[in-house]
Structure formats: structure tokens, C-alpha cells
Structure 1
């Protein structure tokens, strides 16, 4: 069996940089473009950065936790990496595509592996309408914001906003309001993954709204369209005892 070429990528933290030195001493240095596997050293934030920067290469990513949050990561160990990669279980993720139109007329696209969120920019609540596949479902939602989350991202910001946890591979996305005021009883929806979701900002000048795809923020938006990507996928690798599907399932039973 050919030994895989591994490109190590590390967050700026001291702990991750020390691990980078250890890993490259053991396995050598390889550029992402030439690698068979990418190994991300850091937390979930750095994993998302890695997917945004290098996801287009189509290389599987094995992450090791050296950060605050590591839901998308494996435990860090400095030995046995080749055996762990050989035994790893893949999890395919399909990101969300965001297209945001701004007051200035700019059209800005971005990908989100966790969620796309719309948030009010001032003290005044946002007034939004919601269309699904071209049909208006909510004429006016008064809220602090609104988000669309993928299954992998449903345990993050979405869950803290009281949204549902979605099983990996369920081909669904979560639509979750943030601090909704009106309609009083609406608490969001679970949608088929191929649903095209469009938000319109009803009073963008008096009540400005920003849109954020993972960490990419676009301010003063007037319309945002979101759908699951039909072309882009990324593969994360997990230790069998630490696989992502089981972890997402277990999150539903935490009391």
C-alpha cells in the first residue's frame, strides 16, 4: 500500500504550531495541491477555514483538535496517524451556496459548511419575508435574524437558537428564526435540501441587515438566496469511534 502524502495545516495557536512541527518532522512537508490527504490542526473554526480555502481541491480532510471547539475534529495524538487515516470513516458534506444582493447593487456569492445567517445591524428588529421555491411562505417576519443550517452545522449556532439537530445524510436543511417577535408561534422549519430559500429585507434603509456565510459577512443586504450546492462536496475523515454521524445523533440525547 502506498503511503499517503499528507499536507499539514495549522491554526496560529501555539499548541497547533507545536503540533505542526511534530507532524512535519514525522511525515514530511507537502503542499495541499500535491497531497492525498489534508490534515487540519486546530479547532472547528480552523477546519472551516481549511474547507473554504482548499475544499475545491477535492482532497479528504482529517482534522485533529487543538482548539476550543472540535466537533468536526478527531482527538489529537502525535503517533499512529497513518493507521488512523487508513481506518478512518468518511463523512461527505455538501455546503450551502449563498447569493447576496446589496443596497449598492453588488451581487456576492459565498459557501457555508455550517450555516448562513441574517442578522439585524442596528438596535431595530429586522423585517424579512421568506420564499421557498418561489412561493412566499412568510409575508413578514419580525426578528433579530434568521439562519439556514446544514446537518453538519445544525448542532452549532442553529441549535443555540433552538433549531433542530439534523441527522447527517438526511438531505434536509434547518430554517430557524433568531429571537422571533412576529409571527409569535412560528419557530422555523425543516426543509428538503434542494429547496431554494430566498429572504427579502422589507425595510433595508431603516432596518439594515447583514448576511454571514460561516465567517464571510456581507453588510446591507436587500435579498439573500440560499440552496444546497449541487456540485461541491467535501469529505471529512473520522476515527471509527468518533464518527460524525454518531456524534450528531448523540447530541440529540444530551440532557
Structure 2
């Protein structure tokens, strides 16, 4: 109880310091602090993720969660190999630039929806504002912080859309060459060899289909991600599974009850 009291005092102290730093400016801050004067730290950089429901840790604080019978959970890599397939299937609807845009959003803002809802649907649910006039919808009680379960789990659905091979095209959509992403991770040299490499890559990303959103991963991300000069690399699906445990993501039934007040029995 004493620890919680100290924590509350620290939080209040930090909030007071932030409030004292808030200036009477008509402009937003780059870091997000003071944009909401009633809750000046909400949505700002270097603040914790928010949670919809309590975390699932073994000791309630930080240790890895265990199975219902008290044993350790199965190895993440073993689960990846046994449960999730490896295959390359193309999306019939979307090109690779859709996956890449999703990754940019996930890594940068972590909570912004893409444009796949469609204009008609966005208008029907009030997500699209009129181009004239003004809006008075601001609500200081809405917390815009990144939700842990969203950024550490839900946003990772694009991982099955990653293609292990990137294809380069001319503007006419004539195929030029292709590269293995794991041969060039963190190494953009190939894009700097000639002046047309960036356009060729962009033409490719707007032409090449992205992977199908399913339970399978491209072998390039299943066994060889970030391999650099090694024979093997990282298993992205195993990384996703372990990330969920590290973040203490609650179990499926906890979310089912949170959303629908029901739990799956089988």
C-alpha cells in the first residue's frame, strides 16, 4: 500500500510539472503534451500505453504468464511452427503499398485507421467531416493514448501481408528485377545505386500484390527475418507471440467478456 501511495505522489508531481510548463499557445506541441489542458500528458510521447482491461502477468506485475494449470506456456517458436503455416498467397484486392502504409502507421502513430473503410461508410458513421464550417466535437475526456493490446497484437495482422521478395518495375509496369528483403534489411544501398531505383521500387509496390491476410507467413519472415549474414534469422510469428507475453496481453476470453459479456466455453 505504501508503494502505491508513493506512486500516486509521483504521478501527481509529474502532472503538476507538466501543467506548469503548459503555455498559452494556439498551436499544438510536437510531442503531444499540453494539447489537452485538463489531461496534459494524454497522448504525449514517452508515456505508457493504455489498457482496456488489466494485464495478464504471472505475478500480476511483470513475470511471464503461465498456463491455466500453472505450467509454463509452450515455447513461442514451437507454437509458430506447429500452429501457423508458411505459404505465399497473394491478395486479390490490395497491392504491397497497402501493407507498407500500414507498417508506417503502426510504427509511427500506432492507433490510426487506414483508408480501407471507404468514403460512404466513413460518412455514415460520422468519421468524415464537412469541408466547410467548423466542428465542436472536441472532448477532453477522451484518452488518445495508444492501447497496448492494439499496438502489440491487433496491428500485427499486416505481418501475413509481407512479401519476402520485392519486385522492381518500370512505369510501364515492365518487370525489371527482384530482391530478397532479408538480403537488404537496414541496408538501402541497392536503392542508391541508380537514380531510378526509388521510382522502380514504388512502381513495384503499387503493382505487386501484398500477401493474403491469413494465418500463414512468407518463409522469408518465418525463418529468415533480420538474418543479415547468418544462415537463419528471426521468426516473426514467434516474435509476435512472445511480444504478447512480454506485454502481458490478456487472454481471448477476457476480451470476449469485455466486449460481449460472454466467454467461449470450448
Question: Would you call these one fold, judging by a TM-score over 0.5?
Answer: no
Pick the structure with more helix per residue. 2
Q: Could you tell me the TM-score, scaled by structure 1's length?
A: 0.27
Structure with more relative contact order (C-alpha pairs < 8 Å, separation 6 or more): 2
More strand by share: 1
The normalised TM-score by structure 2 is: 0.26
Larger radius of gyration: 2
